[in-house]
Structure 1
Amino acid sequence: MSTLHDIGARLLYRDALLLVIDKPAGLPVHPGPRGGETLTDHLDGLRFGLPRRPEAAHRLDRDTSGCLALGRHAKALARLGKLFSGNAIDKTYWAVVSGGPAEEEGSIDLALARRSPDPRSWWMKADPAGDPSLTHWQVLGRGDGLTWLALKPVTGRTHQLRVHCAESGWPILGDPIYGGAPRGSALHLHARSLSIPLYPKREAITVEAPVPGHMAEALRQTGLAEH
Protein backbone atom coordinates (compact mmCIF):
# COMPACT_ATOMS: atom_id res chain seq x y z
CA MET A 1 0.00 0.00 0.00
CA SER A 2 1.37 3.37 -1.00
CA THR A 3 1.09 6.35 1.33
CA LEU A 4 1.25 9.76 -0.30
CA HIS A 5 3.04 12.29 1.88
CA ASP A 6 3.42 15.24 -0.51
CA ILE A 7 1.15 15.33 -3.54
CA GLY A 8 2.67 18.63 -4.69
CA ALA A 9 6.00 16.89 -5.27
CA ARG A 10 4.28 14.60 -7.78
CA LEU A 11 2.91 17.41 -9.96
CA LEU A 12 4.16 17.07 -13.55
CA TYR A 13 2.13 19.77 -15.33
CA ARG A 14 -0.15 22.66 -14.40
CA ASP A 15 -2.18 25.25 -16.28
CA ALA A 16 -5.55 26.96 -15.83
CA LEU A 17 -7.57 23.87 -16.81
CA LEU A 18 -5.34 20.86 -16.34
CA LEU A 19 -3.04 19.21 -13.83
CA VAL A 20 -1.07 16.03 -14.51
CA ILE A 21 0.39 14.15 -11.58
CA ASP A 22 2.60 11.08 -11.23
CA LYS A 23 0.32 8.70 -9.34
CA PRO A 24 2.18 6.22 -7.14
CA ALA A 25 1.52 2.51 -7.57
CA GLY A 26 -0.64 0.98 -4.86
CA LEU A 27 -2.88 4.01 -4.32
CA PRO A 28 -6.46 3.86 -5.67
CA VAL A 29 -7.80 7.00 -7.30
CA HIS A 30 -11.34 6.74 -5.91
CA PRO A 31 -12.80 5.38 -2.65
CA GLY A 32 -13.89 1.74 -2.80
CA PRO A 33 -16.01 -0.60 -0.69
CA ARG A 34 -13.03 -1.61 1.46
CA GLY A 35 -12.19 1.95 2.46
CA GLY A 36 -8.62 3.06 3.07
CA GLU A 37 -6.47 5.86 1.71
CA THR A 38 -7.16 7.10 -1.82
CA LEU A 39 -5.75 9.78 -4.08
CA THR A 40 -8.97 11.76 -3.57
CA ASP A 41 -7.98 12.27 0.08
CA HIS A 42 -5.03 14.41 -1.07
CA LEU A 43 -6.51 16.50 -3.89
CA ASP A 44 -7.25 19.54 -1.72
CA GLY A 45 -3.49 20.08 -1.77
CA LEU A 46 -3.73 20.81 -5.51
CA ARG A 47 -6.42 23.53 -5.50
CA PHE A 48 -3.84 26.32 -6.03
CA GLY A 49 -6.33 28.97 -4.95
CA LEU A 50 -9.43 27.57 -6.66
CA PRO A 51 -12.55 27.00 -4.51
CA ARG A 52 -12.79 23.29 -5.31
CA ARG A 53 -10.25 20.53 -5.54
CA PRO A 54 -9.42 19.04 -8.96
CA GLU A 55 -10.87 15.69 -10.01
CA ALA A 56 -9.47 12.81 -12.05
CA ALA A 57 -10.48 12.99 -15.71
CA HIS A 58 -9.91 9.27 -16.37
CA ARG A 59 -9.15 6.00 -14.61
CA LEU A 60 -5.83 4.54 -13.56
CA ASP A 61 -5.72 1.22 -11.73
CA ARG A 62 -4.64 1.12 -8.09
CA ASP A 63 -1.48 -0.79 -8.98
CA THR A 64 -0.55 1.26 -12.05
CA SER A 65 1.80 4.21 -11.61
CA GLY A 66 2.28 7.29 -13.76
CA CYS A 67 0.47 10.07 -15.58
CA LEU A 68 -3.00 10.93 -14.29
CA ALA A 69 -4.85 13.95 -15.71
CA LEU A 70 -6.99 16.08 -13.39
CA GLY A 71 -9.53 18.70 -14.40
CA ARG A 72 -9.35 21.83 -12.23
CA HIS A 73 -13.06 22.68 -12.44
CA ALA A 74 -16.32 21.42 -14.00
CA LYS A 75 -15.78 22.92 -17.48
CA ALA A 76 -12.24 21.53 -17.63
CA LEU A 77 -13.46 18.08 -16.58
CA ALA A 78 -16.16 18.15 -19.25
CA ARG A 79 -13.65 19.06 -21.96
CA LEU A 80 -11.17 16.41 -20.83
CA GLY A 81 -13.97 13.84 -20.54
CA LYS A 82 -14.90 14.37 -24.19
CA LEU A 83 -11.29 13.99 -25.28
CA PHE A 84 -10.81 10.77 -23.32
CA SER A 85 -14.15 9.22 -24.37
CA GLY A 86 -13.47 10.17 -27.98
CA ASN A 87 -10.01 8.50 -27.92
CA ALA A 88 -8.41 11.83 -28.83
CA ILE A 89 -5.72 11.55 -26.15
CA ASP A 90 -2.57 9.61 -26.98
CA LYS A 91 -1.65 7.36 -24.04
CA THR A 92 1.59 5.40 -23.81
CA TYR A 93 2.25 2.86 -21.07
CA TRP A 94 5.46 1.05 -20.31
CA ALA A 95 5.20 -2.56 -19.21
CA VAL A 96 7.69 -5.30 -18.45
CA VAL A 97 6.26 -8.70 -19.40
CA SER A 98 7.33 -12.28 -18.76
CA GLY A 99 8.58 -13.83 -21.99
CA GLY A 100 7.38 -11.61 -24.80
CA PRO A 101 6.22 -11.54 -28.40
CA ALA A 102 8.35 -12.91 -31.24
CA GLU A 103 7.64 -9.84 -33.36
CA GLU A 104 8.81 -6.28 -32.72
CA GLU A 105 5.41 -4.59 -32.95
CA GLY A 106 1.78 -5.44 -33.44
CA SER A 107 -1.78 -5.03 -32.21
CA ILE A 108 -4.11 -6.95 -29.91
CA ASP A 109 -7.75 -6.82 -30.96
CA LEU A 110 -9.61 -8.79 -28.30
CA ALA A 111 -13.05 -8.03 -26.86
CA LEU A 112 -13.35 -7.94 -23.07
CA ALA A 113 -16.16 -8.54 -20.59
CA ARG A 114 -16.47 -8.77 -16.82
CA ARG A 115 -15.75 -12.20 -15.34
CA SER A 116 -18.65 -11.78 -12.93
CA PRO A 117 -22.07 -10.13 -13.28
CA ASP A 118 -21.43 -8.50 -9.90
CA PRO A 119 -20.97 -4.77 -10.70
CA ARG A 120 -18.45 -4.51 -7.85
CA SER A 121 -16.11 -6.93 -9.62
CA TRP A 122 -13.41 -5.35 -11.78
CA TRP A 123 -11.89 -8.60 -13.03
CA MET A 124 -12.13 -9.02 -16.78
CA LYS A 125 -11.89 -11.82 -19.34
CA ALA A 126 -11.57 -12.20 -23.09
CA ASP A 127 -15.07 -12.67 -24.50
CA PRO A 128 -16.12 -12.40 -28.17
CA ALA A 129 -19.44 -10.99 -26.98
CA GLY A 130 -17.73 -8.32 -24.86
CA ASP A 131 -16.74 -4.74 -25.61
CA PRO A 132 -14.31 -4.20 -28.50
CA SER A 133 -10.79 -3.56 -27.17
CA LEU A 134 -7.69 -2.61 -29.14
CA THR A 135 -4.09 -2.17 -28.02
CA HIS A 136 -1.03 -1.38 -30.17
CA TRP A 137 2.35 -2.50 -28.84
CA GLN A 138 6.04 -2.11 -29.64
CA VAL A 139 9.10 -3.83 -28.19
CA LEU A 140 11.54 -1.36 -26.61
CA GLY A 141 13.98 -3.90 -25.15
CA ARG A 142 14.58 -7.52 -24.13
CA GLY A 143 16.70 -9.32 -21.57
CA ASP A 144 16.76 -12.05 -18.89
CA GLY A 145 13.53 -13.63 -20.15
CA LEU A 146 11.66 -10.33 -19.96
CA THR A 147 10.47 -7.83 -22.55
CA TRP A 148 9.99 -4.08 -22.17
CA LEU A 149 6.95 -2.92 -24.15
CA ALA A 150 5.35 0.37 -25.08
CA LEU A 151 1.58 -0.20 -25.00
CA LYS A 152 -0.90 2.20 -26.62
CA PRO A 153 -4.51 1.46 -25.73
CA VAL A 154 -6.93 2.77 -28.36
CA THR A 155 -9.92 1.84 -26.22
CA GLY A 156 -10.02 2.29 -22.45
CA ARG A 157 -11.50 -0.89 -20.99
CA THR A 158 -10.92 -1.89 -17.38
CA HIS A 159 -7.69 -3.91 -17.02
CA GLN A 160 -7.37 -3.86 -20.82
CA LEU A 161 -3.57 -3.91 -20.98
CA ARG A 162 -3.27 -6.56 -18.29
CA VAL A 163 -5.72 -8.94 -19.96
CA HIS A 164 -4.41 -8.31 -23.47
CA CYS A 165 -0.84 -9.11 -22.43
CA ALA A 166 -1.84 -12.19 -20.43
CA GLU A 167 -4.04 -13.56 -23.22
CA SER A 168 -1.16 -13.05 -25.67
CA GLY A 169 1.01 -15.36 -23.55
CA TRP A 170 3.23 -12.69 -21.99
CA PRO A 171 1.63 -11.47 -18.75
CA ILE A 172 2.79 -8.25 -17.13
CA LEU A 173 5.41 -8.89 -14.46
CA GLY A 174 3.95 -8.80 -10.94
CA ASP A 175 0.30 -9.24 -12.00
CA PRO A 176 -1.44 -11.43 -9.39
CA ILE A 177 -4.84 -11.45 -11.14
CA TYR A 178 -3.94 -12.28 -14.72
CA GLY A 179 -0.30 -13.35 -14.51
CA GLY A 180 -0.18 -15.69 -11.53
CA ALA A 181 2.21 -13.53 -9.49
CA PRO A 182 2.01 -13.79 -5.68
CA ARG A 183 -0.37 -11.37 -3.98
CA GLY A 184 1.41 -8.19 -3.01
CA SER A 185 3.70 -8.27 -6.05
CA ALA A 186 4.57 -4.96 -7.72
CA LEU A 187 2.76 -4.62 -11.04
CA HIS A 188 5.23 -3.51 -13.74
CA LEU A 189 2.81 -1.22 -15.59
CA HIS A 190 3.45 2.51 -15.80
CA ALA A 191 1.48 5.27 -17.53
CA ARG A 192 4.55 6.79 -19.15
CA SER A 193 3.01 9.65 -21.12
CA LEU A 194 -0.13 11.53 -22.10
CA SER A 195 -0.52 13.77 -25.13
CA ILE A 196 -3.62 15.93 -24.69
CA PRO A 197 -4.97 18.21 -27.48
CA LEU A 198 -6.67 20.46 -24.95
CA TYR A 199 -6.42 23.79 -26.77
CA PRO A 200 -7.63 23.83 -30.40
CA LYS A 201 -5.03 26.24 -31.78
CA ARG A 202 -2.03 24.94 -29.87
CA GLU A 203 0.10 21.81 -30.00
CA ALA A 204 -1.00 18.94 -27.79
CA ILE A 205 0.26 19.04 -24.20
CA THR A 206 2.66 16.12 -23.77
CA VAL A 207 3.66 15.03 -20.27
CA GLU A 208 5.97 12.17 -19.20
CA ALA A 209 6.19 10.50 -15.82
CA PRO A 210 9.61 9.33 -14.57
CA VAL A 211 10.43 5.65 -14.18
CA PRO A 212 9.03 4.38 -10.86
CA GLY A 213 11.44 2.79 -8.43
CA HIS A 214 9.75 -0.62 -8.44
CA MET A 215 10.31 -0.97 -12.22
CA ALA A 216 13.84 0.41 -12.47
CA GLU A 217 15.70 -2.90 -12.14
CA ALA A 218 13.55 -4.81 -14.64
CA LEU A 219 13.80 -1.94 -17.13
CA ARG A 220 17.58 -1.90 -16.71
CA GLN A 221 17.65 -5.66 -17.40
CA THR A 222 15.69 -5.12 -20.62
CA GLY A 223 17.86 -2.30 -21.92
CA LEU A 224 16.79 1.03 -20.43
CA ALA A 225 19.92 3.15 -20.18
CA GLU A 226 20.79 4.63 -16.82
CA HIS A 227 19.88 8.32 -16.44
Structure 2
Amino acid sequence: MATSFITVDEVLAGERLDVAVSRHVEELTRARVQKLIAEDYVQVDGKPQKANYRLRAGETVEVTVPEVKPAEIAAEKIDLDILYEDQDVLVLNKPKGLVIHPAAGHAGGTLVNALLHHCDDLSGIGGEARPGIVHRLDKDTSGVMVVAKNDRAHLSLSRQFKAHSVTREYVAIVHGEPAVEQGTIDAAIARHPKERKKMALTTAEKGRRAVTHFKVLDRFGEYSYLALRLETGRTHQIRVHLSSLGHPVVGDPVYGYKKQKFKLSGQALHARLLGFNHPTDHRYLEFAGEPPEEFRRLLNLLRGKGEAQDED
Protein backbone atom coordinates (compact mmCIF):
# COMPACT_ATOMS: atom_id res chain seq x y z
CA MET A 1 0.00 0.00 0.00
CA ALA A 2 1.03 3.59 -0.67
CA THR A 3 -0.10 6.49 1.51
CA SER A 4 -0.20 10.20 0.66
CA PHE A 5 -1.05 13.19 2.83
CA ILE A 6 -2.66 16.44 1.68
CA THR A 7 -2.74 19.51 3.90
CA VAL A 8 -5.77 21.66 3.12
CA ASP A 9 -4.74 25.29 2.62
CA GLU A 10 -6.86 28.32 1.76
CA VAL A 11 -6.78 27.40 -1.93
CA LEU A 12 -8.14 23.90 -1.31
CA ALA A 13 -10.68 24.99 1.28
CA GLY A 14 -14.21 24.49 -0.02
CA GLU A 15 -13.14 21.92 -2.63
CA ARG A 16 -14.91 18.56 -2.88
CA LEU A 17 -12.92 15.73 -1.34
CA ASP A 18 -12.90 13.56 -4.47
CA VAL A 19 -11.87 16.47 -6.71
CA ALA A 20 -9.04 17.53 -4.40
CA VAL A 21 -7.60 14.03 -4.12
CA SER A 22 -7.76 13.32 -7.88
CA ARG A 23 -5.89 16.58 -8.54
CA HIS A 24 -3.16 15.98 -5.98
CA VAL A 25 -2.59 12.25 -6.47
CA GLU A 26 -1.97 12.29 -10.20
CA GLU A 27 -1.94 8.53 -10.76
CA LEU A 28 -5.57 8.25 -9.64
CA THR A 29 -8.61 8.96 -11.78
CA ARG A 30 -11.60 10.59 -10.14
CA ALA A 31 -13.60 7.37 -10.49
CA ARG A 32 -10.84 5.46 -8.71
CA VAL A 33 -10.72 8.12 -5.97
CA GLN A 34 -14.46 7.84 -5.43
CA LYS A 35 -14.14 4.08 -5.04
CA LEU A 36 -11.33 4.53 -2.50
CA ILE A 37 -13.48 7.02 -0.58
CA ALA A 38 -16.41 4.61 -0.56
CA GLU A 39 -14.13 1.90 0.87
CA ASP A 40 -12.77 4.26 3.58
CA TYR A 41 -9.25 4.41 2.14
CA VAL A 42 -9.49 8.22 2.20
CA GLN A 43 -9.87 9.97 5.56
CA VAL A 44 -10.03 13.56 6.70
CA ASP A 45 -8.39 14.15 10.09
CA GLY A 46 -8.63 10.43 10.73
CA LYS A 47 -12.31 10.08 9.82
CA PRO A 48 -13.92 8.78 6.60
CA GLN A 49 -16.02 11.28 4.68
CA LYS A 50 -18.24 11.21 1.60
CA ALA A 51 -16.92 12.13 -1.86
CA ASN A 52 -18.84 15.43 -1.85
CA TYR A 53 -17.47 16.51 1.55
CA ARG A 54 -16.24 20.12 1.39
CA LEU A 55 -12.73 20.50 2.76
CA ARG A 56 -11.80 23.06 5.42
CA ALA A 57 -8.51 24.89 5.86
CA GLY A 58 -6.15 23.14 8.26
CA GLU A 59 -7.53 19.63 7.72
CA THR A 60 -5.27 16.75 6.67
CA VAL A 61 -6.39 14.25 4.05
CA GLU A 62 -4.85 10.79 4.21
CA VAL A 63 -5.04 8.76 1.00
CA THR A 64 -4.16 5.07 1.09
CA VAL A 65 -3.94 3.24 -2.21
CA PRO A 66 -4.03 -0.56 -1.84
CA GLU A 67 -2.28 -2.84 -4.27
CA VAL A 68 -4.42 -3.57 -7.30
CA LYS A 69 -6.00 -6.99 -6.91
CA PRO A 70 -5.40 -9.49 -9.69
CA ALA A 71 -8.48 -9.68 -11.84
CA GLU A 72 -10.43 -12.81 -10.92
CA ILE A 73 -11.86 -12.97 -14.41
CA ALA A 74 -11.36 -15.84 -16.81
CA ALA A 75 -9.54 -15.11 -20.05
CA GLU A 76 -11.68 -16.13 -23.02
CA LYS A 77 -10.76 -16.49 -26.66
CA ILE A 78 -13.18 -14.09 -28.34
CA ASP A 79 -12.45 -12.68 -31.79
CA LEU A 80 -11.74 -8.93 -31.76
CA ASP A 81 -11.74 -6.53 -34.71
CA ILE A 82 -8.45 -4.80 -33.84
CA LEU A 83 -7.74 -1.58 -35.75
CA TYR A 84 -4.42 -0.71 -34.08
CA GLU A 85 -2.19 -2.02 -31.31
CA ASP A 86 1.18 -1.14 -29.76
CA GLN A 87 2.77 -1.52 -26.31
CA ASP A 88 0.54 1.19 -24.79
CA VAL A 89 -2.88 1.04 -26.43
CA LEU A 90 -5.23 -1.18 -28.35
CA VAL A 91 -7.98 0.20 -30.61
CA LEU A 92 -10.84 -2.02 -31.71
CA ASN A 93 -14.19 -1.89 -33.44
CA LYS A 94 -16.58 -3.32 -30.82
CA PRO A 95 -19.42 -5.41 -32.23
CA LYS A 96 -23.02 -4.89 -31.20
CA GLY A 97 -24.04 -7.22 -28.38
CA LEU A 98 -20.65 -7.34 -26.66
CA VAL A 99 -20.76 -6.26 -23.00
CA ILE A 100 -17.71 -4.25 -21.87
CA HIS A 101 -16.98 -5.79 -18.46
CA PRO A 102 -18.38 -8.51 -16.17
CA ALA A 103 -21.43 -7.56 -14.14
CA ALA A 104 -24.59 -9.15 -12.81
CA GLY A 105 -25.97 -11.33 -15.58
CA HIS A 106 -22.76 -11.13 -17.62
CA ALA A 107 -20.07 -13.05 -15.77
CA GLY A 108 -18.33 -14.02 -18.99
CA GLY A 109 -18.22 -13.36 -22.69
CA THR A 110 -17.29 -9.70 -22.19
CA LEU A 111 -14.69 -7.46 -23.78
CA VAL A 112 -12.58 -7.69 -20.61
CA ASN A 113 -12.59 -11.49 -20.85
CA ALA A 114 -11.40 -11.19 -24.45
CA LEU A 115 -8.71 -8.63 -23.60
CA LEU A 116 -7.29 -10.78 -20.82
CA HIS A 117 -6.80 -13.56 -23.36
CA HIS A 118 -5.32 -11.29 -26.02
CA CYS A 119 -3.02 -9.08 -23.91
CA ASP A 120 -0.14 -10.02 -21.62
CA ASP A 121 -0.91 -7.06 -19.37
CA LEU A 122 -3.56 -4.37 -18.93
CA SER A 123 -3.86 -1.25 -16.82
CA GLY A 124 -5.17 -1.66 -13.27
CA ILE A 125 -6.43 1.87 -12.67
CA GLY A 126 -9.91 0.89 -13.80
CA GLY A 127 -10.30 -1.52 -10.87
CA GLU A 128 -10.35 -5.28 -10.57
CA ALA A 129 -13.33 -5.90 -12.84
CA ARG A 130 -12.35 -3.39 -15.52
CA PRO A 131 -8.68 -3.82 -16.46
CA GLY A 132 -7.74 -1.61 -19.39
CA ILE A 133 -11.16 0.02 -19.72
CA VAL A 134 -10.90 3.79 -20.16
CA HIS A 135 -14.36 4.46 -21.62
CA ARG A 136 -17.41 2.42 -22.49
CA LEU A 137 -20.01 1.82 -25.15
CA ASP A 138 -23.44 0.40 -24.39
CA LYS A 139 -23.88 -3.32 -25.05
CA ASP A 140 -25.87 -2.74 -28.24
CA THR A 141 -23.87 0.24 -29.47
CA SER A 142 -21.08 -0.79 -31.81
CA GLY A 143 -17.96 1.15 -32.66
CA VAL A 144 -14.41 2.27 -32.04
CA MET A 145 -12.91 1.99 -28.56
CA VAL A 146 -9.43 2.46 -27.11
CA VAL A 147 -8.03 0.22 -24.35
CA ALA A 148 -5.06 1.06 -22.08
CA LYS A 149 -2.37 -1.60 -21.76
CA ASN A 150 -0.60 0.01 -18.83
CA ASP A 151 -1.36 2.51 -16.03
CA ARG A 152 0.54 5.38 -17.66
CA ALA A 153 -1.49 5.04 -20.84
CA HIS A 154 -4.70 4.74 -18.83
CA LEU A 155 -4.00 7.94 -16.91
CA SER A 156 -3.12 9.87 -20.09
CA LEU A 157 -6.25 8.74 -21.91
CA SER A 158 -8.47 9.37 -18.88
CA ARG A 159 -7.21 12.94 -18.69
CA GLN A 160 -7.96 13.47 -22.38
CA PHE A 161 -11.50 12.19 -21.97
CA LYS A 162 -11.96 14.39 -18.90
CA ALA A 163 -10.67 17.43 -20.80
CA HIS A 164 -13.06 16.65 -23.69
CA SER A 165 -10.09 16.66 -26.09
CA VAL A 166 -10.88 13.22 -27.55
CA THR A 167 -12.64 13.21 -30.93
CA ARG A 168 -15.75 11.04 -30.77
CA GLU A 169 -18.08 10.85 -33.74
CA TYR A 170 -21.12 8.60 -34.10
CA VAL A 171 -23.69 7.84 -36.76
CA ALA A 172 -27.31 6.99 -36.03
CA ILE A 173 -30.54 6.22 -37.84
CA VAL A 174 -33.38 8.02 -36.09
CA HIS A 175 -37.13 8.39 -36.34
CA GLY A 176 -38.45 11.47 -38.12
CA GLU A 177 -36.65 14.44 -39.66
CA PRO A 178 -34.98 17.17 -37.59
CA ALA A 179 -36.22 20.68 -38.41
CA VAL A 180 -32.65 21.93 -38.97
CA GLU A 181 -29.66 20.55 -40.87
CA GLN A 182 -27.38 20.75 -37.86
CA GLY A 183 -27.52 21.83 -34.26
CA THR A 184 -26.41 21.35 -30.67
CA ILE A 185 -28.22 19.74 -27.76
CA ASP A 186 -27.00 21.21 -24.47
CA ALA A 187 -29.03 19.61 -21.69
CA ALA A 188 -27.97 18.15 -18.34
CA ILE A 189 -28.46 14.44 -17.68
CA ALA A 190 -28.94 12.52 -14.44
CA ARG A 191 -30.24 9.16 -13.27
CA HIS A 192 -33.99 8.80 -13.89
CA PRO A 193 -35.84 9.59 -10.62
CA LYS A 194 -38.01 6.45 -10.80
CA GLU A 195 -36.40 4.03 -13.27
CA ARG A 196 -32.85 3.55 -11.98
CA LYS A 197 -31.57 1.82 -15.11
CA LYS A 198 -32.47 4.84 -17.23
CA MET A 199 -31.11 8.36 -17.57
CA ALA A 200 -33.17 11.50 -18.08
CA LEU A 201 -32.87 15.21 -18.75
CA THR A 202 -32.73 17.37 -15.66
CA THR A 203 -31.69 20.80 -14.44
CA ALA A 204 -28.07 21.92 -14.38
CA GLU A 205 -28.15 21.88 -10.57
CA LYS A 206 -29.29 18.26 -10.34
CA GLY A 207 -27.37 16.69 -13.23
CA ARG A 208 -24.17 16.86 -15.24
CA ARG A 209 -23.87 19.01 -18.31
CA ALA A 210 -24.15 17.05 -21.55
CA VAL A 211 -23.48 18.45 -25.03
CA THR A 212 -24.16 16.66 -28.32
CA HIS A 213 -23.63 18.19 -31.77
CA PHE A 214 -25.60 16.71 -34.67
CA LYS A 215 -25.72 17.01 -38.45
CA VAL A 216 -28.23 15.50 -40.87
CA LEU A 217 -26.49 13.32 -43.46
CA ASP A 218 -29.61 12.03 -45.23
CA ARG A 219 -33.39 12.25 -44.96
CA PHE A 220 -35.89 9.48 -45.73
CA GLY A 221 -39.23 10.97 -44.71
CA GLU A 222 -40.02 8.86 -41.66
CA TYR A 223 -36.35 8.43 -40.81
CA SER A 224 -33.05 10.34 -40.92
CA TYR A 225 -29.36 9.46 -40.93
CA LEU A 226 -27.34 11.63 -38.52
CA ALA A 227 -23.71 12.27 -37.67
CA LEU A 228 -23.12 13.14 -34.02
CA ARG A 229 -20.12 14.51 -32.15
CA LEU A 230 -19.82 14.24 -28.39
CA GLU A 231 -18.47 17.17 -26.43
CA THR A 232 -19.17 15.35 -23.16
CA GLY A 233 -19.63 11.64 -22.51
CA ARG A 234 -22.50 10.95 -20.14
CA THR A 235 -24.23 7.60 -19.79
CA HIS A 236 -26.72 7.08 -22.66
CA GLN A 237 -26.10 10.69 -23.71
CA ILE A 238 -26.87 10.46 -27.42
CA ARG A 239 -29.89 8.22 -26.89
CA VAL A 240 -31.40 10.51 -24.23
CA HIS A 241 -30.69 13.70 -26.17
CA LEU A 242 -32.16 12.43 -29.45
CA SER A 243 -35.21 11.05 -27.69
CA SER A 244 -35.76 14.44 -26.06
CA LEU A 245 -35.89 16.01 -29.54
CA GLY A 246 -38.57 13.58 -30.62
CA HIS A 247 -36.12 11.68 -32.81
CA PRO A 248 -35.19 8.54 -30.87
CA VAL A 249 -32.68 6.10 -32.32
CA VAL A 250 -34.28 3.35 -34.38
CA GLY A 251 -34.30 0.07 -32.46
CA ASP A 252 -33.61 1.67 -29.06
CA PRO A 253 -35.43 -0.57 -26.56
CA VAL A 254 -35.15 1.92 -23.69
CA TYR A 255 -35.63 5.42 -25.11
CA GLY A 256 -37.23 4.57 -28.45
CA TYR A 257 -40.70 3.64 -29.60
CA LYS A 258 -42.24 0.42 -28.30
CA LYS A 259 -43.37 -0.57 -31.79
CA GLN A 260 -40.52 -0.73 -34.29
CA LYS A 261 -40.94 -1.25 -38.03
CA PHE A 262 -37.56 -2.93 -38.42
CA LYS A 263 -36.17 -5.98 -36.67
CA LEU A 264 -32.90 -4.87 -35.09
CA SER A 265 -30.82 -6.30 -32.26
CA GLY A 266 -30.69 -2.99 -30.40
CA GLN A 267 -30.28 0.65 -31.37
CA ALA A 268 -28.95 1.77 -34.76
CA LEU A 269 -26.09 3.72 -33.21
CA HIS A 270 -22.41 3.31 -34.11
CA ALA A 271 -19.25 5.04 -32.83
CA ARG A 272 -17.56 5.44 -36.19
CA LEU A 273 -14.53 7.57 -35.32
CA LEU A 274 -12.19 8.05 -32.35
CA GLY A 275 -9.19 10.37 -32.17
CA PHE A 276 -6.73 10.95 -29.33
CA ASN A 277 -3.12 11.85 -28.56
CA HIS A 278 -0.87 8.84 -28.07
CA PRO A 279 0.08 8.48 -24.38
CA THR A 280 3.81 8.16 -25.13
CA ASP A 281 4.78 10.30 -28.13
CA HIS A 282 1.66 12.53 -28.05
CA ARG A 283 1.04 12.29 -31.82
CA TYR A 284 -2.61 12.56 -32.78
CA LEU A 285 -4.14 9.26 -33.88
CA GLU A 286 -7.55 8.80 -35.46
CA PHE A 287 -9.39 5.57 -36.23
CA ALA A 288 -12.61 4.80 -38.07
CA GLY A 289 -14.71 1.66 -37.88
CA GLU A 290 -17.31 0.36 -40.31
CA PRO A 291 -20.87 0.04 -38.91
CA PRO A 292 -22.16 -3.53 -38.49
CA GLU A 293 -23.89 -5.29 -41.37
CA GLU A 294 -27.32 -4.85 -39.76
CA PHE A 295 -26.83 -1.07 -39.69
CA ARG A 296 -25.63 -0.96 -43.31
CA ARG A 297 -28.53 -3.10 -44.53
CA LEU A 298 -31.07 -0.80 -42.90
CA LEU A 299 -29.39 2.28 -44.34
CA ASN A 300 -29.39 0.75 -47.83
CA LEU A 301 -33.05 -0.21 -47.42
CA LEU A 302 -34.00 3.36 -46.53
CA ARG A 303 -32.03 4.60 -49.53
CA GLY A 304 -33.96 2.24 -51.76
CA LYS A 305 -30.98 -0.02 -52.38
CA GLY A 306 -31.85 -2.90 -50.07
CA GLU A 307 -34.27 -5.77 -49.79
CA ALA A 308 -37.54 -5.50 -47.92
CA GLN A 309 -36.98 -8.60 -45.79
CA ASP A 310 -35.46 -6.38 -43.10
CA GLU A 311 -38.98 -5.14 -42.31
CA ASP A 312 -41.54 -6.79 -40.05
Cα deviation, 1:130-173, whole Å, max 9, x if unaligned, reads: 21111000111122521111111111110000000000010000
Q: 1:113 and 1:202, CA in 2 relative to 1: closer, same or farther beyond 3 A?
A: closer
TM-score norm. by structure 2 comes to 0.64
2:182 — aligned with what? 105
Do residues 192 (structure 1) and 267 (structure 2) align?
no
User: 1:131-146 alignment to 2 at 5 Å?
Assistant: 131-146=208-223
Q: Which runs of 5+ in 2 are unaligned?
A: 1-75, 124-130, 307-312
Q: 1:207 and 1:5, CA in 2 relative to 1: closer, same or farther beyond 3 A?
A: same
TM-score norm. by structure 1 comes to 0.86
Which SS does the other structure have where 2:219 is aligned? Answer: strand
Larger gyration radius, structure 1 or structure 2 = 2
Alignment partners' CA distance in 2, 1:74 and 1:199: 10
Q: How far apart are residue 202 of structure 1 and its match?
A: 5.5
Higher mean C-alpha deviation, range 210-219 or range 199-208:
199-208
Q: 1:31 and 1:224, CA in 2 relative to 1: closer, same or farther beyond 3 A?
A: farther
Q: Which runs of 5+ in 1 are unaligned?
A: none
Alignment partners' CA distance in 1, 2:237 and 2:295: 20
Which SS does the other structure have where 2:253 is aligned? Answer: coil
Greater relative CO (CA pairs within 8 A, separation 6+): 1
Which SS does the other structure have where 2:255 is aligned? Answer: coil
Alignment partners' CA distance in 1, 2:257 and 2:136: 24
Q: 1:76 and 1:201, CA in 2 relative to 1: closer, same or farther beyond 3 A?
A: closer
Q: How far apart are residue 52 of structure 1 and its match?
A: 4.3
Q: How far apart are residue 55 of structure 1 and its match?
A: 1.3
Show structure 1 runs of 4+ deviating over 3 A: 50-54, 181-185, 199-203, 221-226
2:199 — aligned with what? 124
Alignment partners' CA distance in 2, 1:219 and 1:34: 32
Which SS does the other structure have where 1:148 is aligned? Answer: strand
1:22 to 85, 93, 98: 93
1:40 — aligned with what? 112
Do residues 205 (structure 1) and 285 (structure 2) align?
yes
1:157 — aligned with what? 234
